[in-house]
Every structure is written in C-alpha cells, then in structure tokens.
Copies of this chain bind each other. A is one copy, B any other.
Amino acid sequence: MRCEVVAVGTELLLGQVVDTNSADIGERLALAGIDSYFQTRVGDNEERIATVIGEALRRSDAVIVCGGLGPTQDDITREAIARALGVPLVRDAAMVASIRGLFEARGRAMASNNERQADRPQGASFIPQVRGTAPGLVCPAPGGGVVYAVPGVPHEMQEMLERAVIPDLQRRSGSQQVIVSRTLRTWGVAESALAEMVAHRVDNQTNPTIAFLASGIEGLKLRLTAKAADFDEAARLLDAEEAELRAILGDLVFGVDGQSMERAVAELLTARNLSLGVAESLTGGLVGARLAETEGASAWFKGSIVAYDSGVKFDLLGVPEGPVVSAAAAAAMAEGACRALKSTVGLGITGVAGPTTQDGQPVGTVFMAVAYGGATEVAEVHLPGSRPLVRQLATISLLDQLRKRLLKG
C-alpha cells in the first residue's frame, strides 16, 4: 500500500506558511506501516492541483489532499479532485443543511459561500466534520485507487486523519502486521549523554527499534517501534524494552506518549491529595497555563500570581525589598504563593528572559523554588536561547523540579 500527500495552498509555495501537515501525515502513515514515497505542494490553481493528483494516482494507491476545503473562491480542492477523476461535482442537500445547523448552533447565519463546502465529486462520500465547517472527502478513483481530502487547519486535519483516513487506509491495505510505537519522554539530560546511556540497547535492538527525537522545549524522546502480528504481541515487546530503558534512565523519564510534564505533575499531586499555588515572573503565566491545561486541574490547582511588576512581588507575595532576580526572591515567591492562594505546595520562579540583563544577572538566569512540607528548595539554572525559548524552558524546568521533589515523598 502506497499513499502520497498533496498539500494545497499558494501560501505554502510562497513560504508564508511552513507545511507541517505533510510531515505530520507522513509520520502517521509510517506508524501505520503505509509506504509514502512522494509529497507534493501545489498552489491554488485548479488545473495544476488536478495534474498533481493525477500523477500521484499513477504512482500510488492512495492520495491525501490537504487544504483548499474552505468556503472562499480560492478553495478549489473539491473542483480539482472532480477534474482529476473526470466526474462532475454535485451539491449535497443534506450536507448543506448540516453546515447550516453548525452555524445556527453558534447563533450565526451561514453565508451562501459555505454551501460550496457541501459539494462532492460524484461517487465520493463525506467524512463528517467534527471541528470547523469543512467535511472531508473519500473519493474512489478508477482502478481501485482512492483520493482523500482533509482540511488544511492542522487540528482539523489531525482529527480527521486519525478518525477516518488512517482506519480506511488500513482496511484497504488488508495488512495484518501491526506497527506500534511508544515514546518515552525525558527531561534534564543532553542528547549525546542520553545516547551514551542507552547505546548498548540501541545497538542491539531490532524489534522494537529505538530512535531519538529531539522535541525542543518538551525534552528528548526515545521512540520504540515494534512490528508484530497483533497489538497484544506488540505491547509485550514494547513493555519489555520500556522496562530495560527505565532501569537505565530512572526518573529522567517523566512520561509516556502524550503524557506531558504537567500531566505527570498532576498525577503526583492528586495521588498525594495536595493543592498547588504558583508565583511567577518571567514566565508571565505560562506555568499556570500549562497546569490548567490538564483536565481536572480544578481539583488541585488553586491559581497563579503573575507578579511581573516588582511592586506586585512585594505587595501580594511578601518578597523582601531588594533584587528580584535572586534565590531569596524565588523562595519568598513560593512561600507567598502558598499563603496568598491557600495551597499546600507553592512554586516560585523569577529570572531574566532578555533581551537585556536584570539585577546584574545575565539573560537566561532563572531561580526556581518549591515550598512544601515546611521546607523550600531553590534551584538556579542557566537557559539558552531567545526570549520565548528561555520562558518555555524555565516553565518546564520548574515543573520538573516539582516532579522530582514530589517523587522524593
């Protein structure tokens, strides 16, 4: 089974938008064991889109066309697929009603343009939309091929890919072999050091294979990929290798697959029946925002005092007058957060995101504190990169400090 990706949009050719959709689809196809040898990007031109779809169908069994399903005049993927397949475009009355209903549910009137989103090439079926107003398409092609159309908005594309396209491709491929991946997520070690720690596992493993993925602000990932006759066997292979790697890596591993650092922290707090309050400065609210992202956060997350201005640190958090980029200020912030937010655990973070130095401290200097059980632990880190990167790295560093503190009991 071979599947190609065609990304549609003049903005992609002009470099105004980087095409991350093709990379995401490519990764997902690889995990599903579907070969993908070509990806094409083409502008908003019906003839050229139709041409590349035709070329892709000659080389491959399936084509995923991404983008150009919106309601405006330059959204012409529907027309181009019909042209490539040599069939007329038909307007689907039931889908028109469905889209109108989506607008009415939001208290808005549907523009007449949106009716175009109910067009489909004759013989094609819709993939119902869950997010957005654009349905996807499954279009049978002569000779047993298939063309899928999915929206270009990344979260709409991903949802539709996972729910409809990948399962349909797997059904068509009839393959019995499953390929399953599992990702161990680590924080606090450089890639070269991580590679040395696990070198003997990587060198000697063929199933699962082990690959390193650098994920920037989310740390380093080890991806295990197992091939097996069924999901149970794949899970057994992955369980065994995960146990070997965890024995080497210990608490450097903070999560598996989609388990984020904040999720790991949330589970530890919940298990210990603790509540958390935060006082943050350079991160501006990022720490609170990440914590609040976890479902069920209201059970343990009290809130965060973003004391960007020094006066707020003194008034609301009881930070002593003096330099606010200091270990003493971070400790006072963590303790002040406990008091002001009435939490059993407090976090404090202050530092220099840049572009200029502050309190004589260079850009990237960050002091972080955890107040818990009558003691306050402070750590100092020096983070690289631009202003946004320093803020993101500071946020996950603080959450990791809390995670390791809670693991100590």
- Which A residues have a C-beta under 8 Å from some C-beta of B? 10-20, 22-28, 30, 36-45, 48, 52, 55, 70-74, 106-108, 110-111, 113-114, 131, 152-155, 181, 183, 190-193, 195-196, 199, 202-203, 211-214, 216, 223, 225, 278, 280, 282-293, 295, 297-298, 301-309, 311-312, 315-316, 340-342, 355, 382, 384-389, 391
With both beta carbons as reference points, the residue of chain B lying nearest to A25 in the complex is identified as B15
CA distance A341 to B45 in the complex (A): 53
CA distance A388 to B37 in the complex (A): 34
Residues of B within 8 A of A24 (CB): 15
Chain B residues near A18 (CB, 8 Å)?
18-20, 23
Majority SS of interface residues in chain A? Answer: mixed
- B284 and A292 form a contact (CB under 8 A): yes
Q: Contact check: which of B106, B285, B385 meets A286 at CB < 8 Å?
A: B285
A195 cross-chain contacts in B, Cβ below 8 A: 71-73, 111, 113
Given contacts A26-B15, A288-B284, A386-B131, contact A37 B42 (CB under 8 A): yes
Residues of B within 8 A of A153 (CB): 214, 216
Q: Which residue of B lies closest to A364 (CB)?
A: B106
Query: Could you tell me if A308 and B303 are in contact, using CB atoms closer than 8 angstroms?
Result: yes
A297 CB contacts on chain B under 8 angstroms: 284, 308
Partner of A15, one of B23, B52, B285, B315: B23
Known contacts being A71-B191, A211-B74, is A309 close to B303, with CB within 8 Å?
Answer: yes
Residue from B28, B39, B113, B295 within 8 A of A12 (CB atoms) = B39
Which residues on the B side are within 8 Å of A306 (C-beta)? 278, 285, 288, 292, 303-306
Which single residue of chain B is at the shortest CB-CB distance from A199?
A: B73
| Residue pair A191, B131 in contact (C-beta under 8 Å) | no
Interface pairs A-B: 5 shortest CB-CB: A284-B292, A15-B27, A285-B285, A285-B288, A111-B192
With A192-B111, A308-B301 in contact, do A289 and B295 touch (Cβ < 8 Å)? no
CA A160 to CA B342, docked complex, whole Å: 47
Q: Are A292 and B311 in contact (CB under 8 A)?
A: no
Which residues of chain B are near A303, meaning CB under 8 Å? 305-309, 312
| Contact (Cβ within 8 A) A12 B23 | yes
Residue of B at shortest CB range from A22?
B41
- The interface residues of chain B lying within 8 Å CB-to-CB of A212 are 70, 72, 74
Complex Cα spacing A210 to B295, Å: 41
- B292 contacts A289, C-beta separation under 8 Å: no
Could you tell me if B16 and A27 are in contact, using CB atoms closer than 8 angstroms? Answer: yes
A14 touching B30, Cβ below 8 Å: yes
Chain B residues with CB below 8 A from A225, complex form: 14
Complex CA distance for A28 and B37, rounded to whole angstroms: 27
Nearest B residue to A212 by beta-carbon distance? B72
Give bound CA distance, A39 to B52, whole Å: 11
CB contacts (< 8 Å) of A10 on chain B: these are: 211
Sampled A-B contacts (16; CB under 8 Å): A11-B211, A13-B36, A14-B225, A16-B183, A17-B23, A17-B213, A40-B40, A44-B211, A70-B212, A72-B212, A73-B203, A74-B211, A113-B192, A284-B288, A304-B306, A306-B306
Residues of B contacting A155 with CB < 8 Å?
A: 216, 385-386, 389
In the assembled complex, which residues on chain B have CB atoms less than 8 Å from the CB atom of A216?
153-155
Other A-B contacts than A11-B223, A19-B23, 14 sampled, CB-CB below 8 A, are A10-B211, A16-B183, A16-B211, A17-B23, A111-B195, A153-B216, A285-B306, A288-B306, A288-B308, A289-B391, A293-B387, A301-B309, A303-B309, A303-B312
Chain B residues closer than 8 Å to A38, beta-carbon distance: 13, 40-42, 48, 52
A304 and B285 contacting across the interface, CB-CB below 8 Å = yes
Contacts A41-B22, A292-B306; A16 near B71 (Cβ below 8 A): no
Contact A293 B284 (CB under 8 A): yes
